Chains A and B, each alone.
Chain A
Amino acid sequence: MDRSVTGRKAFSLPESDVPFQEMPDRAQMRDDLELPEVSQLEVIRYFSILSQRNFSIDTNFYPLGSCTMKYNPKINDELSNIPGLADLHPLQPQDTAQGAIRLLKELQDDLGEITGLPAVSLAPLAGAQGEYAGLLIARAYHEARNDTQRTVAIIPDSAHGTNPASATMAGLDVVTVGSDPNGNVDVSNLRELSDSRTAVFMLTIPSTLGLFEPNILEITEIIHNAGGLVYADGANLNALLGIVKLGDLGVDICHSNLHKTFSTPHGGGGPGSGPVMVSDVLAKFLPDPVAEKRDGRYILANPEQSIGSINGFHGSFSIAVRAYAYIKALGLEGLQSVSKNAIINANYVQTNLRDKYNLPVDRYCMHETVLSASRQKDRGIAGLDIAKRLLDFGIHAPTMYFPMIVDEALMIEPTESESKETLDHFIAVMKQIDDETVNNAELVSDAPHDLPVTRLDEASAARKPILRWSPVDLDDQ
């Protein structure tokens, strides 16, 4: 905006073709609107240069645990933007949007088939909204049975932060269940905590440690015997495609992040999409709307005892188009191959790095592995430093300090998209950085060196927040 020159413009609009209509009273009109005044080339150049100050999947490897940074196929973006899909109005008559609703219905069916939870709503706009919808469904189920004292959500200590935040929004009291030394849910602790107040148990599966819960059948039985429901956070569904269905394990509700497992772009932080899948018993509580086929016609219907609307229209339609395209491009064998390769890649990295980095739970992992930089920390180099040093090699940092139950956690998820050469390069770099923590520690602790900026002063950013452009602040810099 500091590039503005009065009178410059980047776009021209047509002249009005209707007879002039009296404008409103001046008192209602705004005096000035401070917005950019730049030429078209300046706009393009500005954003193009900014884009080059980013890491992205198209340019960098992202071993970012729990985020499933896989390849985002270009055809999916292209198809989501075609006329006939991108220019549909959400409220146009359903008879004029049969293709769109059919696509939603088929995606629902595929997600139901993949998870084993056949009733699906694509309404939630992100994973956190999918969680919230799922918890409202659990509450609605208990209330419909007059089982109203169930106000507790049991959540493992390894869970993602959205789980307890969503539970609070749903008016549930959060009770934390611990993990055992093998990284599994502490089953005896869970047994003690499950009672007539248990509304729902939220389990991320595979866990945020990248481990499949071996006691899953016992766990779902404990919760069901206590009268509660089992919610699976599908953040890590990329490990399970065609390998196991959550519904077969006793899970009642789950959500899936289409921007993870189903390859829709992360977009630098959204838009996501978090469809919610439930068992047939819970179908009537799904959020509005659900696509259905009735008498040969596709409709968007509101389930009879729906938890209601959780956003403006029908969810992220153009994200649904991308996910649908992804599932169709891979098909049954392809999806299974996705999970197999994701699991092999993660174990390959784990096996190659366990000599240099601590492996807190010594088991084969699923699609991601959690290492610890505790040994390097003893040498004065934190996990954060290692993460920043990776950036110098053009590799994005792993997920840091999460799950919180692991000291100096480095959560690594290579995904199926990466070749063995990329993994070998990453392994070599991680070993080199470990070596640097011994022989050249400053190189690591001062990293990154080769990016547009070095480490940022986040403390003063929070203490004295500058949250919008103004000439004074820039001069100040």
Chain B
Amino acid sequence: MQLHTNRLWGNDLFIMSVPSNTTINHPYIPSTDFEREEMLRVIGVDSFDDLLTDIPLAHRYPRMDLTSGLSEQELASEIGSFAGENASPSSGYVSFLGAGAYRHYIPSVVRSILQRGEFVTGYTPYQPEAAQGTLQVGFEFQTIICQLTGMEVANAGMYDGPTAFAEACLMAARVTRRNKVALLSDVDNRLLDVLISYVKYQDIEVIKITPDTRVIPDDLACIGIQSPNFFGEIQDVERLTNLAHENGALSVVHVNPTSLGLFKPPGEFGVDIVTADGQPLGVPMAFGGPYVGLFACKKAQIRQMPGRIIGLTKDTQGRAGYALTLQTREQHIRRERATSNICTSTQLIALMVTAYVATLGKQGLKEVAELCYQKAHYAAAEIAKIEGYSVRTSGTFFHEFVVTCPTNPSAINAELLKQKIIGGLDISHRSHNGMLVCFTEINSKKDIDRFVELLSQYGEVH
């Protein structure tokens, strides 16, 4: 390695002499003035601007209102101050929010694996020989998703839960060649909103049906089910799936993956497509993303599946190896006739999920699900005892349930916040004075008891 006196490298770590006519470089950009001039000379131009002749002169080097560059120390301080303006568990707040994003303990093993630059800074594995690590992780991920959901095949990951669900409904329309999708009325509105954005120009009609429906139109592409539903209740997926199949429709089920540590997987009920948000499986809530969408279906319909798929194959010497496969479904080959425009598998988050499930393992995932179940049911039993409050969710629930409060939940939440408690989600637009509260293994009995005690106090005031 040639030494450069104005660059920090190896033995000249302590040689700090910078020629006076040289610009000090930015740490992210190695070229020095001298090297830039040398390269421009080789290129054969007198100045850098000679490379820009295609750009209209009047618009070159516009005025930009941006600050000057910060040192790493200043940057850390600035972003640290942003973080300091937020209320979170790390600043002493206790939270009972769920509704699509769930706080679970993330093992150090997962965080450690996520530090590996070979995973973090690799590219999409289009050159499989140079990406066997990423590909094998993806293959493990697909396997894990199949095991969890009880389905035959899974893709390597979608953007998030709601987009995976929307893509599943689009896939159902392709498979059945029908253009009407029915969503159960108790799904999360975010599933509905994203679906509407996705089908806006696809000539697909979205209708709502109630969960207890016994009759459905005979021209449905699918019934879209969320289980547990938005209010935390486990659905009768088997009955609804049979109802769909009797009418030539598919059954699309959006699940909470943690619940599958405990409950029968959709695959056992003959469900056609299963989607989920992978966030509860080891992914930080991070104010909403990035997460990863899980997507699994039956093998017979794999050629209609969106997204990347990783397959096991052999190299020229007969050794096992992994590669992206069935790529003729995808946009980079089929362009406007692709199954989707998606061009990612959200691989790094899929790695988090894979590492999390591998770390928790067979027993751990079951235990997490049991702890969530125990804590939520304990909380429900305690809240039900408070005068003025009732638990609205009936049947079996997981992670969360609806509390009918004596007054507007936001008013109660405002009081709770003063005690450093972030209460449940105000869903009074969907359920009168309803608060959707969530409990995971993170929430201690002490915190739950304090929450119940404060609810009781604020209930009396009104």
Chain B residues near A271 (CB-CB < 8 A): 159, 289-290, 292, 344, 346-349
Max chain A Cβ within 10 angstroms of own Cβ: one of B100, B109, B154, B325? B325
User: Contacts A34-B147, A311-B163 given: A161-B287 contact, CB under 8 Å?
Assistant: no
Contact: B75 with A79, CB < 8 Å? Answer: yes
Q: Which of A81-123 contact B (CB under 8 A)?
A: 81-93, 96-100, 102-103, 110, 113-114, 116
22 A-B residue pairs with Cβ-Cβ distance under 8 Å, sorted by A, are: A18-B445, A35-B357, A51-B116, A91-B425, A92-B422, A125-B289, A164-B331, A170-B201, A214-B54, A268-B351, A309-B193, A312-B289, A329-B69, A331-B68, A334-B69, A337-B26, A391-B130, A420-B35, A421-B1, A458-B313, A468-B154, A477-B319
Shortest Cβ gap from A265 to chain B (Å): 5
CB distance from A201 to the nearest CB of B (A): 16
The smallest beta-carbon distance between B234 and chain A, in angstroms, is 7
State in angstroms the CA–CA spacing of A21 and B72 once bound together.
51
Given A98-B85, A347-B43, A420-B39, answer yes or no on A268-B119 (Cβ-Cβ < 8 Å).
yes
A316 to B355, CA, bound (A): 21
Q: Which A-chain residue is minimally distant from B48 (CB atoms)?
A: A340
Say which residue of A58, A80, A287, A469 sits within 8 Å of B117 (CB atoms): A58
* Number of chain A residues whose Cβ lies closer than 8 Å to a Cβ of chain B: 200
The answer to whether A114 and B66 have CB atoms under 8 Å apart is yes
Contact status of A85 and B287, CB under 8 A, knowing A10-B109, A267-B119, A396-B130? yes
Establish whether residues A90 and B285, one from each chain, have CB atoms under 8 Å apart when the complex forms. Answer: yes
The residue among B68, B137, B311, B340 with the most chain A CB atoms within 10 A of its own CB is B311
Q: Which residues of A, 172-230, contact B by the 8 Å Cβ criterion?
A: 172, 174, 211-214, 216-217
Please name the residue on chain B nearest to A133 by beta carbon.
B197
Residue of A whose beta carbon sits closest to that of B107: A11
Given A34-B147, A99-B86, A351-B42, A171:B200 Cβ within 8 A: yes
Q: Is A310 in the interface zone, CB < 8 Å from B?
A: yes
Q: How far is the CB of A101 from chain B (nearest CB, A)?
A: 9
The residue that B325 contacts in the complex, of A90, A131, A461, A474, with Cβ under 8 A, is A461
A269 with B109, Cβ < 8 A, contacts A75-B75, A344-B51 known: no
Q: Which residue of B38, B194, B349 is within 8 Å of A311 (Cβ)? A: B194
A43 touches B358 (CB 8 A): yes
Interface residues of B in 330-347 (CB under 8 A from A): 330-338, 340-347
Give chain B residues whose Cβ lies under 8 Å from the Cβ of A234: none
Known: A90-B287, A216-B56, A311-B194. A268 touches B314 (CB 8 A): no
Closest to B200 in A: A136
Q: Do B338 and A84 touch (CB < 8 A)?
A: no
- Is A305's beta carbon under 8 Å from chain B? no
Contact A347 B51 (CB under 8 A): yes
Asked if B162 and A391 make an inter-chain contact with CB atoms under 8 angstroms apart, the answer reads: no
CB of B412 within 8 Å of the partner chain: no
**Which residues on A sit within 8 Å (CB–CB) of B346?**
125, 267, 269-271
| Minimum CB–CB distance for A353 against chain B, Å | 12
- Alpha-carbon distance between A268 and B119 when the two chains are bound, in angstroms: 6
Bound-state Cα–Cα, A477 to B317, Å:
11
Residues of A within 8 A of B345 (CB): 269-270
A84 contacts B29, C-beta separation under 8 Å: no
B66–A89 CB distance below 8 A: no
Residues of A within 8 A of B101 (CB): 89-91, 313
B187 at the interface (CB under 8 A from A): no
Decide yes or no: A33 and B261 within 8 Å by CB, A11-B364, A89-B95, A396-B130 being known contacts. Answer: yes
- Taking CB atoms, residues of chain A closer than 8 Å to B113 are 43-44, 47-48, 51
Give the complex CA separation of A20 and B371 in angstroms: 10
Closest 6 A/B residue pairs (Cβ): A171-B201, A313-B288, A84-B83, A267-B348, A83-B90, A99-B85
Of the candidate stretches B10-18, B243-251, B375-383, the one touching chain A is: B375-383
Question: Which residues of the other chain, A, contact B287 by a CB distance below 8 angstroms?
Answer: 85, 88-90, 97, 100, 313-314, 317-318
Q: Which of A79, A128, A319, A421 contacts B342 (CB 8 A)?
A: A128
The answer to whether B363 has its CB under 8 Å from any CB of chain A is yes
A383 within 8 A of B: no
**A114, A165, A270, A328: which has the most chain B beta carbons within 10 Å?**
A270
Contact A51 B119 (CB under 8 A): yes
The A435-477 residues at the B interface (CB cut-off 8 A) are 446, 448, 451-458, 460-462, 465-469, 473-474, 477
Contact A325 B355 (CB under 8 A): no
Distance, CA A12 to CA B109, complexed state (A): 12
| Contact residue among A132, A268, A364, A453 (Cβ-Cβ distance under 8 Å from B129) | A453
Q: How far is the CA of A455 from the CA of B84 in the complex (A)?
A: 51
Q: Which of B35, B88, B118, B396 contacts A87 (CB 8 A)?
A: B88
- Does A244 count as interface, using CB distance less than 8 angstroms? yes
Contact B290 A316 (CB under 8 A): yes
A47 near B116 with CB under 8 A, answer yes
Is there an interface contact between A126 and B371, defined as CB atoms closer than 8 Å?
A: no
Q: Is A243 an interface residue (CB 8 A)?
A: yes
A155 CB, nearest partner CB in chain B, Å = 9
Query: Given A13-B367, A309-B197: A245 and B118 within 8 A (CB)?
Result: no
Pairwise interchain contact B64-A113, C-beta atoms closer than 8 A: yes
Sample of 15 further A-B pairs with CB below 8 A, known A34-B147, A110-B66: A79-B79, A84-B91, A91-B425, A267-B349, A268-B123, A271-B348, A309-B197, A311-B289, A315-B289, A316-B290, A317-B289, A329-B69, A331-B70, A465-B325, A467-B302
**A309 cross-chain contacts in B, Cβ below 8 A:** 162, 190, 193-194, 197
Say if the beta carbon of B22 comes within 8 Å of chain A: no
Closest-by-CB residue of B relative to A1 is B143
Indicate whether B264 reaches chain A with its CB closer than 8 angstroms: yes
| Nearest-neighbor residue (CB-CB) of B284 within chain A | A86
Whether B82 contacts A116 by the Cβ 8 Å rule is no
Contact A86 B286 (CB under 8 A): yes
Query: Do A244 and B422 form a contact, CB below 8 Å, given A13-B368, A29-B264, A270-B348?
Result: no
> Quick check: A465 and B309 within 8 Å, CB to CB?
yes
Nearest to B90 among chain A residues (CB) is: A83
Q: How far is the CB of A193 from chain B (nearest CB, A)?
A: 16
> Contact mask A352-370 → B, CB, 8 Å, 1/0?
1000000000011010000
Rounded to whole Å, the gap between the CB of B117 and the closest CB of chain A is 3
A92 and B87 in contact (CB under 8 A), knowing A36-B362, A53-B136?
yes
- CB neighbours (8 Å) of B105 from chain A are 13
Q: Mark contacts of B353-391 with chain A using CB atoms, 8 A cut-off: 1 yes-contact digit, 0 otherwise.
A: 001011111111111101101110110010000000000
As a 0/1 sequence over residues 23 to 49 of chain B, the CB contacts with chain A under 8 angstroms (1 = contact) are 000101111000110111011110010
Are B147 and A35 neighbours in the complex by a CB distance under 8 Å? yes
